Amino acid sequence: MRIEFYKYQGTGNDFILIDNRGDTFSKKDTKLVALMCDRRFGIGADGLILLENDNSADFNMVYYNADGRPGSMCGNGGRCIVAFAQYLGIIGDAARFRAVDGMHTATIEGETVSLKMNDVTALRKKPQYLFLDTGSPHHVQLVNNLGAYGVKTEGERLRYGLYGKKGSNINFVEPAARNTFAVRTYERGVEDETLSCGTGVTAVALAMHHLGKTDKSKVSIKTRGGKLQVMFEPTTEGYKNVYLKGPAKQVFKGSWPC
């Protein structure tokens, strides 16, 4: 038996996608997931995603971090699975799917996917940073000279030292242009910097608006893997109608021997 897989990337955030509508993938085999995601001994990816049947949606998204453990919501992974679902013929140019944080909707035009994220009602402001949950927990911190910043070292220190074993994703941000911000992210589960993080990009856009660094409801975010856009509506409680928009591309497909 061999496992057929597809490799997708969204602004450099890369994932192994598997069609598991036949329920053939062993979801308890965390060692297998970690091995497949390994960049030297496996396929190489920031995470693995299963597309499964769902009784009340087009499909269900099951996400694993690169360490093999089940993960929280992944924004770029969500955009990639929408592109994958269209490739499989499950959807047309719109989707409604279930993820670990609930239902999501999305539209797709060419290689561009716009994904509706959950509303955000709790933003915790501290003197040096802001914390919020956009489907995954995110620490957002403004820094100078982002290009030379020690993202892995400082991200690891904050991920464990400030947030304990459960941890948080850590985002370092610097203004880049009008209503545009550059971000570098240390992701828990990957335990390293990734080229892009969808829930992180979303968190950064909302945090910058909350801090008064922009007064616009459409923000561009530059990651090391490319550019994404975040649109939202401010409310008295936080933010609603939050959308993450950007490219999602199939890289290659193959089969994994079992």
**Annotated catalytic sites, by residue?**
74, 197
Phi, psi of 160 (to 5 degrees): -95, -45
Q: List Cβ neighbours of 231 (8 Å cut-off, separation of 6 or more).
A: 217, 218, 219, 241, 242, 243, 245
Phi, psi of 164 (to 5 degrees): 75, -160
What is the 8-class DSSP label of residue 120?
B
> 203 and 140 in contact (C-beta within 8 Å)?
yes
Q: What angle do CA 90, 21, 95 make, to 5 degrees?
A: 30
Residue 122, token pair as written in the block: 């709790």
| Cα separation, 114 vs 250, whole angstroms | 16
Nearest to 230 by CA among 195, 189, 181: 181
Residue 180 one-letter amino acid: T
